[in-house]
Amino acid sequence: MQVTVRQGDSLWYYSQLFKLTLRLLLDSNRQINPNQLYSGQTLQIPGFVTTSYTIVSGDSLWSIAQSRNLSVDAIQLVNPNVNPTTLQVGQQIVIPIRVTWRVVNGKQAYDFETMQVDIQQLSTIYPFIIQSSIGDSVMGKPITELRIGNGSKRVHMNSSFHANEWITTPIMMQFLNDFLLALTNNGSMEGVDLEQIYQNVLLSSVPMVNPDGVNLVLHGPPQQEPYRSNVIEMNNGDLDFSNWKANIRGVDLNNQFPAKWEIERQRKAQEPGPRDFAGPAPLSEPEAAAMANLTRQRDFSRVNAFHTQGRVIYWGFENQQPPQAEAIVNEYANVSGYQPVRTVDSYAGYKDWFIQEYNRPGYTIELGKGTNPLPLSQYNQIYRAARGIMLANLYL
């Protein structure tokens, strides 16, 4: 929501009026010098939208404000040209409303386009989000990173490395939505002080690493050539792509990282296909290269890659994980009920590479249980476990 600054107003005043922290206001208005507000300037108020209202007989701004738990001043701010003493029946004004509902509806076939619409809506309501593209997929779709928070501790989470594990994307988007709601409402989530976390932590998330693959699983082969013909050939002529894990070029993006990549390349699929082909070289695919570049740039203290399925949390790699990694995974297990697994016969994954390169905690969290793609009937159960882990990632 936007308001027009009045002569003599300060950010502190708007913070009190809308019951928001100064930090959220500052981060929603990064282009503004908070010490030099001037009359007529546009100010973004996070966590609010406006709705139209038609004046009826007996209305006053005071009665309207009282019925909506608002101040008269808040209503006047979004109606700068309305004279409160001359309201007329039938006159249209706008009313500020604090957002208390989710934008994200995760219980649906959640493709790239749905995610983009949700990201745009969230960014409009919560302008303190920093949205950026870290690169493009093979077919040119932007791979979006969302950043929330101001702290020096930088933690990261991602989802949908594998196409048929697309349910991890709406799970992550719903958590981000709930985090934003809590920040702009009561300031806490399950007893955790999110205002303090916002000050101390920067949360980076990439909700859909493999957008081409996700759309392939959900909608079938694209119309664009040569991608259409190539994926149909790799899928042996079958137009059912529900089991497809790879990107649109038939490369498994979580077998792409230079952490004993040669082992996976030798023992897994030897040519492009629905799953397990490690590619012609490490980081040959733009999606994997974008994730590696992001990780190098951000200097994360911890990374979390969300996959399906198994209800397990993989947390080691070649005994190179730091000592604190075990305490973190034990808390993840405590809040989710999932089983920690330190050693597994697998290489070249994103968390493997992160542990190897940085000697910092990295985790692959396998949400839910069953056959991929997991059904939406599991969504609520999966979200409860994932929410606990994602929240613990912030407070640990």
Instruction: Give the pLDDT of residue 331.
Output: 98
pLDDT, one tens digit per residue, over 253-298 is: 999 999 999 999 999 999 999 999 999 999 999 999 999 999 999 9
CA distance 124 to 379: 26
**Phi and psi for 101 in degrees, rounded to 5?**
-125, 160
DSSP string, 300-358: -SEEEEEEESSSEEE--STT-S-THHHHHHHHHHHHH-PEEE---S--S-HHHHHHHHH
* DSSP designation for 202: E
CA distance 121 to 301: 29
What residues does 204 pair with on adjacent strands? 147, 156
Q: How many Å from the N-terminal Cα to the C-terminal Cα in the chain?
A: 33
* Closest residue by Cα to residue 210 from 257, 250, 269, 238: 250
Does 112-213+282-395 carry CATH code 3.10.50.30?
Answer: no
pLDDT, one tens digit per residue, over 317-340 is: 999 999 999 999 999 999 999 999
Compute the mean pLDDT over every residue in the chain, rounded to the nearest whole number. Answer: 96
Which residues are marked as active site?
A: 347, 366
Instruction: Give the pLDDT of residue 172.
Output: 98
112-213+282-395: same fold as 2-98? no
Cα Rg of the chain, angstroms: 24
- Averaged over 43-59, what is the pLDDT? 97
Residue 196 has pLDDT above 90, yes or no: yes
Instruction: Give the pLDDT of residue 186.
Output: 87
Instruction: Give the pLDDT of residue 13.
Output: 95
Q: Where are the chain's structural domains?
A: 2-98, 112-213+282-395
* Measured CA distances, 145 to 118, 138, 211, 262 (Å): 13, 17, 13, 29
CA distance 161 to 349: 10
- Averaged over 106-134, what is the pLDDT? 98
Given the candidates 3.40.47.10, 3.40.50.12240, 3.10.350.10, 3.40.50.300, the CATH classification of the domain at 2-98 is 3.10.350.10
What percentage of residues in the chain have a pLDDT greater than 90?
A: 95
Greater confidence (333 vs 187) lies with: 333
